[in-house]
Structure 1
Amino acid sequence: MSSKRIEWLDIAKGIGIFLVVYAHARAPYNSYIYNFHMPLFFLISGILYKSGRDLKSYIFRKIQTLYIPFVSWNLIFIIGKSILRHQEISVDYIIEVILTLQKDGEFLGATWFLGALFLITVIYKLLDYYISDMPSKRWILLGVFAAWGIIGFEITLPYMLSRTFILGFFYAIGNFGKEFFLDLKLNKTTIVYMVIAAGTFFVIGHYNSANMGANEYKYRILFVIGALAASYVTLCFSKIVGAMGRKYIFSLFRKGICLMGKKSVDIVIWQFVAFRIVIAIQLCLNGISLTKLLDYYPMYSERNGWWIAYTLAGIVIPIVWGIFLRGGIWGKVLRKIHVVN
């Protein structure tokens, strides 16, 4: 794989991040989304894994793109809030953030994704690097991460590490099936499989429930099957969107989703911060003091269509804010220290 971006995978990430915000906004049928949206992201990350990159440069790159943004923004918020509230800063909590085990729970709750992805990618790379090259190597890696996934399902570990173990399994599946996913062709057979997978997921989504944070699943095996089916449908649909004609409306739709995919890290970091703006508007409209702003997480109310405002704010504001952070002199400094990339 070259370093050039793959547009249809950016589209897939764009669809994925839209569904993440949509689910967090408690939009209609969000329970279906919780059955696959995070496995989708880790599967895509597995597809994009490059085994040829040397260990040092690979880990250094992950530190720059995942670890530093996660730790930096969480520490800024945690320390800043402690100073404003005249509260003592917990050294243990700071250490846990540095270890990617904790995060700010009032504004940056979704950033756990960056910490989990950092741990998984580094562990996968280390195993890939130190296991001797052999025909069964990817089978071995898949088996190791499958075993960790089973442990994650069976044991609820502290710091929500069970979720990380399970998502690592989907990452390994993504890399294991890299050639299959990258070579997806838009033909009648693919469309038939896509329809079957979509039907399978909606049946499973109707009867199953999943809460990865609490490590609670009504049917674990159905969660895995449903997540893989929905991920396959999303990847196929992304290929369709990528192949759309060049007419203005199609081009605008494709570019918009692709932009969300490219800015998915910004949306992960800032979506709940953006939610606070909508919460403030709702509090003002309901005559509630803004001093209560921190009493609501992640939102005040999604009723009467407010989930639409939360979804739009959670996508648009982070993208605009990310552009601002990268602009001007401050942008050069933030990019230099990799707080933004």
Structure 2
Amino acid sequence: MNGRLQYIDIAKGLGILLVVFGHNEIVLNEKGELFNIIYSFHLPLFFFIAGLFFKVNGKITELMLVKFDSLIKPYLVTLMIVGAIYVPSHNYSPIRYLAGLVYETENTILAEWAPLWFLPHLWAIFIFSWLLIKVTNLCEINKLLQICVMSFVLLIGILSINCFWEIPIDNTTILDKIFSEHLLRGLPLSLDILLISLFFFLLGFMLKKQVFDFQVKNQYLALSLFGFWFCHYYFNYTMDLSERRYDNLLISTLEAICGIYIVLCFSKLISQYKAIRETLSYIGAGSMFILIFHEFFQLKASGLLSKIFHDYTYFNNVSAFIIACAIPLLIWELVKKNDYLALLWLPLKSNKILKKFIAEKQKKSEVSF
């Protein structure tokens, strides 16, 4: 199983590198074809991969607690620490900061930490996926009905994508204290794009057996490459879920599915080469920390380098990209080596301090008994 799953870590590694690069000035300055290519599939890829490891067995309360520990906890810990530094030093309203943190969307979080919106949104995906699967009995119905249910979910999600986007806010409401431009930009936990995210998550969930037993088929890879190229060349459609953009139901969805399949194929092929395999699977394993910290370090590095090297914009942006990937991995290593930091950022089930505490409690109870 470990050998088969390593290529999925490679896929996560490729995906998180695309996320970081997608937030780099090289991509964002013009928002041209490179932007459209990356954004057409990099987020659906992560939803798809998350769905591969989703288990619907068990109680929803257990699922909520486990995913709170692994997703919401690092979100809250990071932004509480950031807030403790930022709020007093910038004379920022603590009430507004906390309200934005609890609302949990990209537009209510400080710009340097905006990518963290993904974590609470993913938590919501796990919960609503559990509910949808139980209500529709998705695992038991035939394939055609499964496709119909998932397609209906995606269709409703796309049709409603702008229902809660840039809606004027009455300045007497509490929402006006959260959104600075007096415009509502999404629901809490980005629930207004949940149905779109659910589609790609459930796609991974339903195809987990095929993905775990995945073998590259050259004809399908060639077809996916052609389809991906054709869609971008002739239509130039993309998606940007954080900005509530989904250009076309059929084309954008096809681009995302082709992109996911291409990444899986390349990940499987790369897994044959040890040096590249080990590097990318390591990056994939640390993708949580890259997601959390990359934007802050990329923006800071880009600003600092532009002051030092005025005429080397491309060099500055590439260097900022490397720094944004490297420093979060160093933080990850530090957290893994310190059990107290691990309590804050890593799942509790793997923490040595907690295990030791539980073992001592059990020992004392056995002695007293």
TM over 0.5: yes
Aligned to 2:207: 177
Matching of residue 213 in structure 1 with residue 218 in structure 2:
no
Alignment of 1:17-96 (within 5 A): 17-27=16-26, 29-91=34-96, 94-96=98-100
Q: Deviations over 1:144-169 (max 9, x none)?
A: 55434323322212425443331121
1:128–1:141 CA contact under 8 A, matched in 2: no
- TM normalised by structure 1 equals 0.81
Q: Deviations over 1:119-158 (max 9, x none)?
A: 0011112333465587218876765554343233222124
Matching of residue 334 in structure 1 with residue 344 in structure 2:
yes
Residue type matched to 1:269 in 2? I
Aligned to 2:104: 100
Q: Deviations over 1:289-329 (max 9, x none)?
A: xxxxxxxxxxxx99323331122112111101121233336
Aligned to 2:231: 204
**Please, which of 276, 285, 299 is the counterpart of residue 308 of structure 2?**
285
Q: Deviations over 1:182-214 (max 9, x none)?
A: 22223xxx1110111012112212322333222
Distance in 1, Cα, partners of 2:143 & 2:59:
17
1:153–1:162 CA contact under 8 A, matched in 2: no
Of 173-182 and 2-11, more deviation after overlay is shown by 2-11
Unaligned runs of 5+ in 1: 245-249, 288-300
| Identical columns (%) | 20
Q: CA deviation at 1:8?
A: 1.2
Q: CA deviation at 1:219?
A: 2.6
Secondary structure, in 3 states, of the residue corresponding to 1:51?
coil
Secondary structure, in 3 states, of the residue corresponding to 1:50?
coil
Aligned to 2:177: none
Q: Deviations over 1:244-276 (max 9, x none)?
A: 1xxxxx312101100111111101000012113
Alignment of 1:202-281 (within 5 A): 202-206=229-233, 207-242=236-271, 244=272, 250-281=273-304
Aligned to 1:322: 332
Aligned to 1:192: 219
Aligned to 1:12: 11
Q: Deviations over 1:210-238 (max 9, x none)?
A: 33222224333201011001101111221
1:142–1:176 CA contact under 8 A, matched in 2: no
Aligned to 1:117: 122
Distance 1:268 1:336, change over 3 A: closer
| RMSD (CA atoms) | 3.0
Q: Deviations over 1:56-101 (max 9, x none)?
A: 332221011111111221233234311111222235x524522534
Distance in 2, Cα, partners of 1:274 & 1:153:
33
1:16–1:40 CA contact under 8 A, matched in 2: yes
Secondary structure, in 3 states, of the residue corresponding to 1:87?
coil
Distance in 2, Cα, partners of 1:54 & 1:240:
38
Secondary structure, in 3 states, of the residue corresponding to 1:307?
helix
Distance in 1, Cα, partners of 2:344 & 2:119:
18
Unaligned runs of 5+ in 2: 28-33, 165-184, 352-369
Aligned to 1:291: none
Distance in 2, Cα, partners of 1:274 & 1:5:
33
Matching of residue 168 in structure 1 with residue 191 in structure 2:
no
Tell me how many residue pairs correspond in the alignment. 316
Distance in 1, Cα, partners of 2:25 & 2:230:
21
Q: CA deviation at 1:180?
A: 2.4
- TM normalised by structure 2 equals 0.76
